[in-house]
Amino acid sequence: MYAVELENISKTFSGGVQANRNITLRIKKGEVHGLLGENGAGKSTLMNVLYGLLQSDDGRIIVNGSEVRFNSPHDAIAQKIGMVHQHFKLIPTLTVAENVVLGMEPKSSKPTKSGLGTIVLLSAFSIILMGLFLPVEQALLGALILLLSVVILYHIFRMTNPSERLGLNRLGRLGFVLEQIGSIIATLSQNLMPIGYGDAIEKIKHIAEENGLDIDPMAKVEDISVGLQQRVEIIKTLYREADILILDEPTSVLTPQEVDELFVTLERFREAGKTIILITHKLREPMALCDRISVLRDGELVGTVEKAGTSPEELAQMMVGRLVVFRVEKTPAAPSDVVLDVKNLEVLDNRNLLTVKGISIQVRSGEILGIAGVQGNGQTELVEAIVGLRKLKSGSVRIAGDDITGASPRKVRAVGVSHIPEDRQKRGLVLGFTVEENLALGQQYLAPYAKGPLTLFLDLESIQNISQETIDNHSIKVLSSKSLASTLSGGNQQKVIVARELGTKPRLLIAAQPTRGLDVGATEFIHKELISMRDAGVAILLVSAELDEIQTLSDRIAVIFDGKIMAIRNPAETTPNELGLLMAGHESNLEEVSA
Amino acid sequence: MQEADISILLIGILLKTTLQMATPLILTALGGMYSEKSGVVNIGLEGMMLMGAFAAVWATFLTGNPWIGLVAAALAGGLLASTHAIVSVKFKGNQIVSGTGIILFALGFTTLMLDAVWGVAGDTPEVTPLPKVQLPFLADIPIIGIVFSQLSPIIYLMFVLSILSWFVMYKTPFGLRLRAAGEDPSTLDTAGVNVEWVRFIGVVLSGCLAGLGGAYLSIGFTTRFRKGMTGGRGFVSLAALIFGNWAPLGVFLAGLLFGFLNGLPNIIQVLAQYNSDLAFLMNYIDLIAMIPFILVVIALAGIRKSRPPKGIGVPYEKEAAG
């Protein structure tokens, strides 16, 4: 028995990108089904089609044996399908309860104070107006009509379906008209009757208790941790009584411990008979949890395998289409002089909260210092403060002895700092510029990119030549150096940035999330580049949310939590478990916290 | 004794003028709130107000009943707003351009209709305004008696609508959905709610309320329609909306403040009549009339903590690759 059957699904986006090509996928009732593939393989698109967010160009969807057509998530929710998106669909300024009930607000079972107050106010206003402007008998009539409508509204308020209750469908054509009027009134009243938060909170607490998902329904979403936010998302689907649960990259924002907790929860759902579809690009997860695994590549289904009959190596090969070497070849580091010396750095974030709380780190020439941590613990602000994009509150930053505390980004670049920003599309590239313009950015005022008196003019010819050379050397896939940066794939966009930043022959390279969202091939390329820069004597500060990446590349690992460095570890002597605990803020008394 | 009576009278007149000046601003700003909370920028409020002012007079002229004029104002404002909604929600056009178009259209349309209906270029003939409300039980209370004497019913309507807006915005499903549509439409979409509908209704409601605000100018406060009679009040309402942080209570208070500033020249005129020492102020009355708008600019520049809805001004596109 299949819970979901997707038959011959194809989807092409308006830009011409074909995300799904004739995919047929059958998911058994009560199984945990892994959907594995690289970024851009079409996993999310396929599941968004199943959730009704996107409409496929072609193909059929069959849920529990009957064919369905989803025009919006509304229809999918009605079929008991729930989805937890990779980027949470929560509104930060609202409470947990408000977020959960959004779209399925319960009516309050008894009149609320604010509702009663509003009705009393409206009635009083109408009666006074009528009393002032109408003759007595008309005013009385008006008051009567008003009273009647309040009574009717009160009854509608307690009914689920007014036309059913009133038996209108027996009255023929007149009944139809009345029914339509009734449904309009019902819609209005459903939308304008006060929300019964009391009942909702009861239900949320009940769901939370039953599934071991402890949560405070009254907390604001912006105040709770990412792990808890994910919990809210799961509760949201349970509140809608979903039997088929889609989770899109659920572990990408969690600490290892939170991942374990999530897996326990999912295990419990499996026992309760729910069907779970787990989208991921990590190999460890489906192997740990799934019964069957389907692999997508370039919008096509490569195949579906039983977990028992496969291995991570086979899955990786299916994902990438060739053999993959997991280890990065690396010789021991030979660190020498201190290049980056940060002392007691304190930085405020956009909301003026202290986000970096006194960080001191040193990076030596020829080593990679990896900063591990869950996103949002001050990494972004730390990097921005070093490269001059953000004012710092106190502390000092030195590059090989030069004090660059509070210097402008141009000055910082001039002393030999390169920066691969974490948001490549916002900070790394100007998407509306051509590739060669992007490659020249940052050095556009220097020869050989500029010429003439005071290097006032761009040397377009030389820019084109240098760019062409760079494109060839880094095998960036692009039609011409004059293509717009926005037309490149994510991997090639990142290659453009890496090529530009390494081309300046830096003393210090700051790489923030350098491989986020990239496929295995591009990731491999960038890892190799980083290692070879290190071997050439560059100091590298690597910030990444991927623990695997930190562990394979770093020579030392600094764990950041809540704006402080928790500890510095040698990758050979630590375990993911210990790092995970540190990332979650569990103090370790083993080592002095400075480096 | 005489002195005290006069000062009480003055305070009464001051408050009353404030209320009268604030009413169109608050109504229109409340309207703007429905639109902007749902994520659609509405700079066309000025045009919707003008349309409401005109429709109120026209309908009153045709039927002789100002109450029908009041309803017509709300409908006309809503109708004009629905074009803004269709352009910016359905066809995802630029909301600023569409809003500007609304203003220009309303200005041109009302001028044209002045000529077509009455054959005049500036002012319409007088129509019956809405009857003034005299609450019997308030007349004898000192200051309040003066403030609440002979007020247009639209002023009371404004109070009711302010409270009602608070209730709708924070206590009902519609309000929750409206706020969600303005913060993050994709979240509302995944929750199974039609974002376009919610935004559409929000924009139309904004037009209805702005129409009422306009109607107050033509058949509430005065008795006729004059070409371009809103005189930038739609934009001041927009400022009140921002100053009030997109919340009903804030909008109400900001509207009162701006209303007070707007009424300042009138108040000074009254003051100068009672106190000859202050008569010299009359020479500078135009300058004084300008001060409020400078204050508005300063206030808007100084207020940094106002937090607009996150998704404001961005049409919701469902189909995004990735």
Contact B80, B35 (CB under 8 A): no
Cβ atoms B215, B23 nearer than 8 A = no
* CATH numeric code, B3-305: 1.10.3470
In this structure, is residue A12 part of a structural domain? yes
Q: What is the structure's pLDDT at A15?
A: 65
Same-domain pairing of A394 and A515: yes
Report the residue from A72, A102, A132 with minimal CB separation from B176.
A102
Distant-in-sequence, close-in-space partners of A449: CB < 8 Å, separation ≥ 6: A440, A443, A458, A459, A462, A463, A466
Q: Encoding tokens for residue A156? A: 């509608």
Number of domains present in the structure of chain A: 4
Establish whether the linkage from the previous residue to A448 is cis, with ω within 30° of 0.
Answer: yes
Q: Which residues on B lie below 8 Å from A98 (Cβ)?
A: 176
pLDDT single digits (tens) A35-68: 998 777 888 889 999 999 999 998 999 999 999 9
Task: Tell me the Cα Rg of chain B.
Answer: 21
Strands ordered across the beta sheet of A2-12: A18-28, A2-12, A58-63, A66-68
Q: Which of B156, B187, B192 lies at the smallest CB-CB distance from A77?
A: B192
Count of A-B CB contacts under 8 Å: 109
Flag whether pLDDT at A592 surpasses 50.
Answer: no
- Residue A321 confidence class, pLDDT cut points 50, 70, 90: confident
CB < 8 Å to B156, chain A: 125, 129
B172, B179, B187: residue with CB nearest A89: B187
**Percentage of residues of chain A with pLDDT beyond 70:** 92
Are A409 and A510 in a shared domain? yes
Asked whether the ipTM of the predicted complex exceeds the cut of 0.95, the reply is no
Which residues from chain A sit within 8 angstroms of residue B172, using beta carbons? 191-195
pLDDT digits (tens, 9 = 90+) for A492-542: 888 899 999 988 889 999 999 998 877 777 888 889 889 999 999 999 999
Instruction: Give alpha helix (H) positions in chain B.
Output: 2-37, 45-63, 66-85, 95-113, 142-147, 153-171, 173-183, 185-190, 195-215, 233-243, 248-274, 285-302
Q: Tell me how close the Cα of B281 comes to any Cα of chain A, in angstroms.
A: 40
CATH at residue A578: 3.40.50.300
Asked if residue A221 belongs to a domain, the reply is: no
Write the residue in A72, A132, A133 that is nearest to B194 by C-beta: A72
Q: Report the C-alpha gap between A88 and A94 in whole angstroms.
A: 14
Question: What is the per-residue pLDDT across B96-127, written as a single tens digit (0 to 9) for each?
Answer: 999 999 999 999 999 999 999 999 988 999 99
Nearest CA-CA distance, residue A89 and chain B, Å: 5
Q: Flag whether pLDDT at A444 surpasses 90.
A: no
B176–A105: do the CB atoms touch at under 8 Å? yes
Alpha-carbon distance of B198 to B43, in angstroms, equals 19
The least confident of A119-133, A197-211, A239-253, A291-305 is A119-133
Whether A496 is in a domain gets the answer no
B321 interaction partners in chain A (CB closer than 8 Å): 13, 15, 17, 19, 45
The pLDDT of residue A446 is 84
Q: Is residue A47 part of a domain?
A: no
A51 neighbourhood in chain B, CB within 8 Å: 190
Least confident range of A46-50, A116-120, A209-213, A567-571: A116-120
- The reported pLDDT for the residue numbered A166 is 56
pLDDT of residue A164: 53
pLDDT beyond 90 at A97 = yes
CA distance B108 to chain A (A): 36
Contact A132 B133 (CB under 8 A): yes
In B, minimum Cα distance to A51 occurs at B190
- Chain B interface, mutation test: which of A112, A118, A184, most B Cβ atoms within 10 Å? A118
Question: Does residue A84 carry a pLDDT above 70?
Answer: yes
Residues A511 and A411 in one domain: yes
Q: Choose the closest CB to A125 out of B156, B168, B318.
A: B156
Residue B194 contacts A where some CB pair is shorter than 8 Å: yes
Question: Torsion angle of alpha carbons A496, A560, A344, A506, nearest 10°?
Answer: -20
- Please give the helix or strand (H or E) that residue A356 lies within, else none: strand A354-364
Dihedral sign (CA A130, A135, A137, A141): negative
Residue of A nearest to B305 (CA): A351
In degrees rounded to 5, what are phi and psi of residue B44? -80, 5
Q: Within a 10 A sphere around the Cβ of B229, how many other Cβ atoms?
A: 22
Q: What is the pLDDT of residue B173?
A: 92
How far away is chain A from the Cα of B302, in angstroms, using its nearest Cα? 17
**Given a cut of 70, is residue A161 above it in pLDDT?**
no
Interchain pair A191, B174: CB under 8 A: yes
Which range (A142-156, A257-271, A341-355, A473-487) has the least confidence?
A142-156
Lowest-confidence pick of A152-161, A194-203, A218-227, B111-120: A152-161
Asked whether the predicted pLDDT for residue A165 surpasses 60, the reply is no
Q: Give the sign of the dihedral formed by CA A235, CA A237, CA A242, CA A246.
A: negative
Instruction: Give the residue from B8, B321, B227 showing the smallest Cα distance to A13.
Output: B321
Helices (H) and strands (E) in chain A, counts: 20, 22
Inter-CA distances, A586 with A167, A490, A565, Å: 63, 36, 12
Q: What is the pLDDT of residue A145?
A: 83
- Reported as type and span, the H/E element at residue A402 is strand A402-403
Check residue A595 and give its pLDDT. Answer: 43
Asked if the Cβ–Cβ distance from A128 to B180 is below 8 Å, we say no
Which of the two residues, A564 and A517, has the higher pLDDT score?
A: A564
Q: Do B32 and B92 contact (CB within 8 A), yes or no?
A: no
Quick: pLDDT tens for A514-527.
Answer: 988 777 778 888 89
Q: What is the pLDDT of residue A326?
A: 59
Q: Does A567 score more than 70 pLDDT? A: yes
Report which of residues A194 and A180 the model is more confident about.
Answer: A194
Same domain, A132 and A186: yes
Q: What is the DSSP string of B231-245?
A: TTHHHHHHHHHHHTT
Q: Are A130 and A123 in contact (CB under 8 A)?
A: no
Optimal mutation site among B174, B190, B246, interface A, most CBs of chain A within 10 A: B190
Domain ranges of chain B: 3-305
Closest-CA residue of chain B to A79 = B192
Which residues of B are less than 8 Å from A124 in CB distance? none
Determine the Cα–Cα distance for residues A373 and A363; give it in Å rounded to an integer: 18
Q: Is the pLDDT of residue A591 over 50?
A: no
Taking the Cβ of residue B131 and every Cβ of chain A, the question of whether any pair is shorter than 8 Å is answered with yes
Amino acid in position A512: A
Which of the residues in chain B have pLDDT under 50?
Answer: 1, 320-322
Per the structure, the complete domain to which residue A3 belongs is given by 1-30+60-76
Chain B positions touching A44 (Cβ under 8 A) are 322
User: In the prediction, which pLDDT does A363 show?
Assistant: 95
Would you say the C-alpha torsion B212, B214, B219, B221 has a positive or negative sign?
Answer: positive
- Please report the residues numbered 145 through 184 in chain B whose beta carbons come closer than 8 angstroms to any beta carbon of chain A: 153, 156-157, 160, 163-164, 167-168, 171-174, 176-177, 179-180, 183-184
How close B153 gets to chain A, by Cα (Å)? 8
Above 60 in pLDDT, residue A329?
yes
Residue A299 to residue A321: CA distance in whole angstroms: 13
Return residues 303-322 of B near A (CB < 8 Å). Answer: 318-319, 321-322
Give the separation between CA B129 and CA B150, rounded to whole angstroms.
Answer: 13
Worst-scoring range by mean pLDDT, A171-175, A426-430, B68-72, B225-229? A171-175
Closest chain B residue to A39 measured between Cα atoms?
B322
Same domain, yes or no: A438 and A583: no
Identify the domain boundary among A21, A52, A76: A76
Distance of CA B33 to the CA centre of its chain: 11
- Is B123's Cβ below 8 Å from some Cβ in A? no
Would you say residue A319 lies in a domain?
no
- The pLDDT assigned to A468 comes to 93
Query: Does residue A486 sit in the same domain as residue A518?
Result: no
Last residue of a domain, one of A191, A207, A235: A191
Spatial neighbors of A429 by CB under 8 A, at least 6 apart, are A438, A485, A493, A496, A497
pLDDT at B146: 82
Q: A147-171: buried (b, 16+ CB within 10 Å) or exposed (e) per residue?
A: eeeeeeeeebbeeeebbeebebeee
Domain boundary among A168, A191, A214: A191
Instruction: Tell me the average pLDDT of chain A.
Output: 86
Q: Is residue A212 part of a domain?
A: no
Chain A hits for B247, Cβ within 8 Å: none
CB atoms within 10 A of CB B221: 18
The verdict on A391 and A516 lying in the same domain is yes
